[in-house]
């Protein structure tokens, strides 16, 4: 049942004509019902909220963006919030990865219909791969495609030296996930999901992981997306795999992807006379982020010096990135 405070908030938003706030509070009530084991009531509330939003959209008023209420209190130090404008079309992805992400978006956009048939949309996504391959950008793109806020967990604020406090902070984050729909990014996820029983395992971290696993099993009344990203999948606990609906691996770009990415970054500075063979050879083994940095440095020099982009300049910039990686990769 709704608490007295929630009823007051519902009536207040109704009187003020703030329908989006009214619907957000209704989702909070649904989350509370789900936690109490009253799944049927929670599902009915979510279905009605979605129908209300669909009705507004079909009436031509448009579906109001979910309000980006900045995290307050202790949550303000745990989550960073923003409204990304990135879309999947802005990313260079292989066909299979794009297809899987589009399927997730389709399920999220049709979540009310799925729930009417006793199904739930995929909401937990694990992204693995080397740094700079597009994992964090994917979370932004999913939020941008869905018109949802992106909340990024600040790991430095989550972990504390006090027994039990880290798990309590995660509890606050998952309460937020259940109360406000959004895309929640757990970057550097191996800090939370490291294997239990490993050489570096300590009792507190085991309790944190156990808490995270339990929180992931809870009903997600808002259909928020939880996106975890890691550069070190081998260090993750095996129990995590079944908590995620999709696990997507991000490899280093192949020659075709390197050419597409560089063409996009060069834009009007690109030349159709390039001999791409040495450029693509120099780009092999670099991540998307490293390639972008190399191209951007060349473009900035062209702008400031009034010079032109040629193949040798790009090859030199890419080789510099390889050199940089060889010097600092051991420190990563």
Which pLDDT tens digit goes with each residue over 252-287? Answer: 999 999 999 999 999 888 766 778 899 999 999 999
Mean pLDDT of 66-80: 68
Per-residue pLDDT, 21: 66
Taking 90 as the threshold, does the pLDDT of residue 218 lie above it?
no
Per-residue pLDDT, 89: 92
Domain 73-249 listed as CATH 3.40.50.300: yes
Higher-scoring residue by pLDDT: 219, 258: 258
Mean pLDDT of 129-157: 91
Burial 279-305 (b: 16+ CB within 10 A, else e): bbebbeebbbbbbbbbbeebbeebeee
Measured CA to CA, the distance from residue 158 to residue 152 in angstroms comes to 12
At the second CATH level, the architecture of 255-331 is Orthogonal Bundle (1.10)
Per-residue pLDDT, 209: 80
Do residues 249 and 204 make contact, with C-beta atoms less than 8 angstroms apart? Answer: no
Do residues 85 and 139 make contact, with C-beta atoms less than 8 angstroms apart? Answer: no
Per-residue pLDDT, 50: 77
Mean pLDDT of 49-64: 61
Taking 90 as the threshold, does the pLDDT of residue 98 lie above it?
yes
Q: What is the pTM of this model?
A: 0.73
Helices 165-179 and 203-217: crossing angle in degrees, nearest 10, is 20
Q: pLDDT class for 165, splitting at 50, 70, 90?
A: confident
Do residues 186 and 205 make contact, with C-beta atoms less than 8 angstroms apart? Answer: no
In the sheet where 124-128 sits, what is the strand order? Answer: 79-82, 150-153, 183-186, 225-230, 124-128, 246-249
Do residues 154 and 78 make contact, with C-beta atoms less than 8 angstroms apart? Answer: yes
The domain spans of the chain are 4-58, 73-249, 255-331
Q: E strands, the chain, where?
A: 79-82, 124-128, 150-153, 183-186, 225-230, 246-249
């Amino acid at each position: 049942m709704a608490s007295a405070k929630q009823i007051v908030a519902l009536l207040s938003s109704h009187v003020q004509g703030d329908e989006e706030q009214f619907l957000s509070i209704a989702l909070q009530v649904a989350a509370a019902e789900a936690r109490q084991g009253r799944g049927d009531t929670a599902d009915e509330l979510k279905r009605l909220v979605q129908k209300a939003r669909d009705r507004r959209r079909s009436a031509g008023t448009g579906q109001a963006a979910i309000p980006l209420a900045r995290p307050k209190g202790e949550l303000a130090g745990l989550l960073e919030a923003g409204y990304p404008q990135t879309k999947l079309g802005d990313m260079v992805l292989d066909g299979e990865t794009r297809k899987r992400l589009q399927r997730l978006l389709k399920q999220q956009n049709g979540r009310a219909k799925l729930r009417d048939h006793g199904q739930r949309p995929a909401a937990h996504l694990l992204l693995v791969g080397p740094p700079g391959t597009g994992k964090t950008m994917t979370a932004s793109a999913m939020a941008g495609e869905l018109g949802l806020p992106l909340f990024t967990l600040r790991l430095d604020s989550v972990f504390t030296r006090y027994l039990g406090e880290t798990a309590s902070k995660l509890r606050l984050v998952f309460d937020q996930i259940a109360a406000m729909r959004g895309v929640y990014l757990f970057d550097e996820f191996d800090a939370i999901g490291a294997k239990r029983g490993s050489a570096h395992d300590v009792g507190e971290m085991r309790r944190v992981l156990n808490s995270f696993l339990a929180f992931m099993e809870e009903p997600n009344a808002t259909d928020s997306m939880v996106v975890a990203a890691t550069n070190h999948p081998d260090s993750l606990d095996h129990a995590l795999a079944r908590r995620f609906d999709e696990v997507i691996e991000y490899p280093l770009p192949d020659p075709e992807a390197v050419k597409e990415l560089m063409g996009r970054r060069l834009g009007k500075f690109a030349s159709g006379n390039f001999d791409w063979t040495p450029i693509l050879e120099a780009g092999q083994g670099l991540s998307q982020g490293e390639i972008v940095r190399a191209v951007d440095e060349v473009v900035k020099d062209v702008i400031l010096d009034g010079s032109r982009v040629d193949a040798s300049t790009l090859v030199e910039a890419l080789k510099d990135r390889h050199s940089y990686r060889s010097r600092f990769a051991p420190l990563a």
